[in-house]
Structure 1
Amino acid sequence: MRPLSLGTRLSLLFAACSAAVSLLAGSLFNQASEAHFAELDYQQLQGELTVLRNLLDGVADAADLPNRLPAVREELAQHPELALRIAGGNGRNWFDSLPSRHEPTAYRSLEIPLDPRHADGARLTLHLNIAHHRHFLDGMQRLIWLGVGLSALATALLGAWGVRRSLRPLRQMGEVAAGISASSLTTRLEAERQPAELAELAQAFNAMLARLEDAFARLSAFSGDIAHELRTPLSNLLTQTQVILARPRALEAYRETLHSNLEELQRLAQMVADMLLLAKADHGLLLPSREPLELGAELDALLDYFAPLAEEAGVRLERRGEARLAADRSMLRRALSNLLDNALRFTPAGGTIRLEVASTAGGLRLEVGNSGPAIPAGQLPRLFDRFYRADPARREGGAEHAGLGLALTRSIVRTHGGEIRCESREGWTRFILEFPA
């Protein structure tokens, strides 16, 4: 069964509250009216009983009563709503003007001794017909129930109208959400025009749209980048193969073409392997095998490997600091190799590449810095995007670099629970890796 809508729930709640308040107010008014009428009735009964007691003063038994009855009947005739009963001390009835057929609930009665000095003697009981009071109270109760019903109905209708108007911003949000597509991710809600209760929701909705827009833009760029990266080697393979097959050639020509194709295929295989590694990292499937590593020795080994390339490029390599880290050796070497390779490509001749490692209060800090031109601040946040290159023409780095190195490095660092960021100022570009203790 489909749950009730918020508007229906609130309308029913308003109606129930209105009915409860109206019923409580009506009940209190009804009780107050009954108490007021009862007080007035007893005041009337007490006054009439005093008059009748005076008229019957000196009556000691039933034999003395006939002489006083005319005056009593005259007094009762002036008040047709009253009825009198006189009974002896033994309960025997001396006089009773109350009709034989009457409803006890239609009368209010008050009984007092005929002689105040003899409480066990004859007694006077005066009955007051309260049928008109009861009729009034019954009518008022009907009005109360009618008012309860009408107030509940009116409150439900007004509540439904008010709730519908109040929920209009939510419906607008729904309309905006329904109209969002890949081509309209720039749509935003006007959070400042929303009610205070919905402003935070509107801001969260806009933030979600901003994240979706950014993710979609990155995905679109990624699709274009990967198509570009795959098109070049595939085009090379296709062209070389078509040329070599266009006419018979010497065996050596076929061998050279196959070697060239092998290089392109190896590049494609490496690119696919890197993308698979990134996909595993994105889904939490990249699980490092941790072992205690002496970072000084690991960094020295990497610098020994890159020393010939650095010497050829005229770049000086430096290392500072010692620390221990529990990490996957192969993954860490791959990440640092990507950073060193990146630094060698962008460090001018005569420049310096410096590796610094140090223990901090929160864990470990590792820096890979190189001297050279600074990276524009607007490009720093995107350096770790896949296939991202600062030059749209893709001229830097050569064809052997697909633009996945920094993305792989970030995935490896995050897999170890760390973070990486880039700073570029004052002629130095530093990639800072921070690992928890």
Structure 2
Amino acid sequence: MARLSLSSRLALLFAACTAVVSLTAGVLFNRASEAHFIELDQQSLDSKLQTFRSVLKGVASQADLSARQATLQSELSHQPDLALRLSGSDGVIWFDSLPTLPATLPTPHGLHTLHSTETDFRTYSALLEPEAVNSPQLTLLLDVTHHQHFLQRMQHLIWLTVGFSALATALLGAWAARSGLRPLRQMSEIAASVSASSLTTRLPQTEMPAELAELTHAFNAMFERLDDAFQRLSAFSADIAHELRTPLSNLLTHTQVTLTRPRSTEDYREALLGNLEELQWMAQMINDMLYLAKAEHGLLNPTRETLQLEDEADAVLEFFAPLAEDAQVRLSREGNATLAGDRNMLRRAISNLLDNALRFTPAGGQVAMRISRSDQGVQLSIENNGATIPAPALPHVFDRFFRADPARSEGSSEHAGLGLAITQSIIRAHGGQIRCESADGWTRFVIELPA
């Protein structure tokens, strides 16, 4: 069977609740009415009992009753809904005001209800003379058929009320539930309409009820993340195509030129070496992109070993010392700290930052590395003097293929703009953060790592 919709469930729940409440109220009212009638009958029979005790006072035998029978019949004639039975102490019936009375009546004293074929009676039995030892027993029978008919009609009315109220509540509940769930349907329609070309769609949060405000906010946040991821993916694809276009064009052109005429072995060797350089750069860029893809999917799992950060930094500085000397740039390092991390990954991050700093530091400039401890852990900063990065470009320096200098955006076979993105992935894999600051001719990259 198909599952019931939420509107149907709510409608059935409303109907069930209404039916239970209506039925409970009807039963309570019915019982209260019945108790009220019994109380009225008790009062009426109490007063009649006193009257008949006065009429039959002193009657101790059937002979005594014959002398009072005329008075008794006269009194009964004024009570058309009342019948009377007088029995001796031995149970023998002396007198029945109605010949159709049942042969057996409730024997215990007090008020009882008797259901016969066509008539319902309220019977009230008591001794004619309570003080006498062998007093005759007087039984009054009050016709309560009209009371019972009223209670039966009341019960029918209760069931009809329960049925109609449940049906009406179900219909109204279905309408109310459908109206109340309209924002959910709207959310479903908008979510169903979202595609790669319409990721900018947002749910109208101000029009949603308070109960759905948080869900709406979550949906809009999800759409924003999807839009951002799709934009990044589209930009990444375009950047890859852009970056690969130049080396592929170089390879094709170089190969076509080489093949235009027969050449010496040395010429072919030089051509292959040129192609090899381009292929190596392309292979490195592809490896870097795969590395970033692993980082984005949380597949970078750095090892944790205790490292002296100053030793790792000095090893990288030693590697870059010849390049710095050729570029007439002074390298320096100060401070020390201990942390747990992956040696190779941290060295790669520091190398990327130093390489970036050396490329943009003018001759005679300097690159300074500072290591210190902070409340959050360990801080490492690399700063260099040179051109200031424009403020609008600072949030994007860690984006893939980003270059702050547009003049360097074409055909660099040395730097594809992935170094800083890889560095950020490494630092995040270690649970740290990296930021860039640039002002007054100095650019500084700050790394914060947990100790």
8 Å CA contact retained: 1:113, 1:120: no
Letter of the aligned partner of 1:209 in structure 2? F
The answer to whether the 8 A contact 2:247-2:411 is kept is no
CA–CA separation in structure 2 for the residues paired with 1:357 and 1:254 = 50
- The answer on whether the counterparts of 1:30 and 1:140 sit within 8 Å (CA) in structure 2 is yes
Maintained 8 Å contact 2:339/2:450: no
Q: d(CA) in 1 for partners of 2:239 and 2:149?
A: 91
Look up the match of 2:372: 358
| Pairing 1:79–2:93 present | no
2-side partners of 1:55 and 1:242: how far apart?
142
Whether the 8 Å contact between 1:364 and 1:436 is mirrored in structure 2 is yes
Which of the numbers 270, 277, 288 marks the counterpart of 1:274? 288
Listed as ranges, the gaps of 5+ residues in structure 2 are 103-112
Question: Which of residues 325, 328, 339 in structure 2 aligns to 1:325?
Answer: 339
Q: Deviations over 1:117-137 (max 9, x none)?
A: 226512211011111110110
Are 2:122 and 1:108 aligned? Answer: yes
Aligned to 1:226: 240
Alignment correspondent of 1:46: 46
Q: How big is the shift at 1:357? A: 1.4
Shift in Å, 1:339: 0.7
Contact kept? 2:88, 2:137, Cα under 8 Å? yes
With structure 2 as the length reference, what TM-score do the two structures score? 0.92
Contact 1:84/1:96 (<8 A) preserved: yes
What secondary structure is seen at the aligned counterpart in 1 of 2:372? strand
TM-aligned CA distance change 1:349 to 1:393, over 3 Å: closer
Give the length in aligned residue pairs: 437
Give how far 1:11 is off.
0.4
Seen in structure 2, the aligned counterparts of structure 1 residues 72 and 429 have a Cα distance that, compared at 3 Å, is farther
1:13 matched residue in structure 2: 13
1:101 Cα deviation from its structure 2 partner: 5.6
Tell whether the 8 Å contact from 1:294 to 1:325 is kept in structure 2 after alignment.
Answer: yes
Shift of 1:56: 0.8
1:29 aligns with 2:23: no
In the alignment, structure 1 segments of 5+ residues that lack a partner are: none
Residues 10-62 of structure 1: CA deviation (Å, up to 9, x unaligned) = 00010001101110111111011101111111111111111111111221222
Shift of residue 310, structure 1, vs aligned partner: 2.1
Does structure 1 residue 316 correspond to structure 2 residue 341? no
1:193 equivalent to 2:207? Answer yes
Partner of 2:4: 4
**Superposition pairs of residues 198-277 of structure 1, within 5 angstroms:** 198-277=212-291
Deviation at 1:168, TM superposition (A): 0.8
Q: Distance in 1 between matches of 2:183 and 2:12?
A: 21
TM-score (ref. length: structure 1): 0.95
Identity of aligned residues (%): 62
Counterpart in the other structure of 1:64: 64
CA–CA separation in structure 2 for the residues paired with 1:371 and 1:394? 19
Q: Which amino acid in structure 2 is aligned with residue 15 of structure 1? A: A
Query: CA–CA distance in 1 between the matches of 2:133 and 2:358?
Result: 124
Q: Of residues 400, 408, 415 in structure 2, which corresponds to 1:401?
A: 415
Q: Name the SS of the counterpart of 2:383 in structure 1.
A: strand
**Equivalent residues of 1:108, 1:128 under 8 A apart:** yes
